[in-house]
Amino acid sequence: GTDIGAQKDRVVTEEEWLQKWETGNIGFHKEQGHPLLQKYLDVLLNGRSGLRIFFPLCGKAVEMKWLADMGHSVVGVEVSEQALKEFFAEHSLPYCEEPVPEISGAKKFQSTSGNISLYCCSIYDLSSSIVGKFDGVWDRGALVAVNPCDRQRYVSLMITLMEKNSSYLLVTVSYDPNKHKGPPFYVPECEIKILFGNHCEIKCLQKVDDFSDRHRQWGLDYFLEVLYILKFVA
């Protein structure tokens, strides 16, 4: 279905996201990493090494360390400073903290080894002049967390951050949007084609039943994760 129900007008504020981290209400965080990234990593890397990989709305995703350990350079952005500090603490990674001159109030947390740089600010404050361009993106929990009214703005930004021939692994979720207000928000396939279709070849790689007690408590009777690979042709 193409109907996103009442979700199109739903707005989650930055304060609400910060509150989720403060109260530990982070059911979206996967301690063991995401099985779909492990399974399809080769599709993202496409035989390449030493890539720059972007994690939008990264939280404290464990895969950032995993990819950095493979020799890639990882850049993330997240509004919650707590999430970023927890990431470094949980992996016992030394880091330094510095302001970002171009963005008022923003901070950059960089691993001492230099291969993980995490920006604490709104993603919309970033630009390629600040963070450079990327060979790959792991978007799990980002597009589906962005307020539906901001999706076009988000995608337009992401497109400016991508190198030619880059690969973008995108995880969306599918459920009845009339039964849960989100986030995560339901993003139908037709909308992905509208958002990215002018710049990318889009292929659905897998749909996974991810239904759990948490989703049952939301009043849902099914919940799927849908993985796409977007290849930038622009």
User: From the annotation, which residues make up the binding site for S-adenosyl-L-methionine?
Assistant: 17-28, 57, 78, 122-123, 140
Q: Quick one: 100 exposed, middle or buried, by C-beta within 10 A (0-12, 13-18, 19+)?
A: middle
Decide: helix, strand or coil at residue 46.
Answer: coil
**Residue 122 region by backbone torsions, left for phi larger than 0, else alpha for psi between -120 and 50, else beta:** beta
Q: Quick one: 114 exposed, middle or buried, by C-beta within 10 A (0-12, 13-18, 19+)?
A: exposed
Binding site feature residues: 17-28, 57, 78, 122-123, 140
Give the residue from 96, 193, 89, 214 showing the smallest Cα distance to 151. Answer: 193
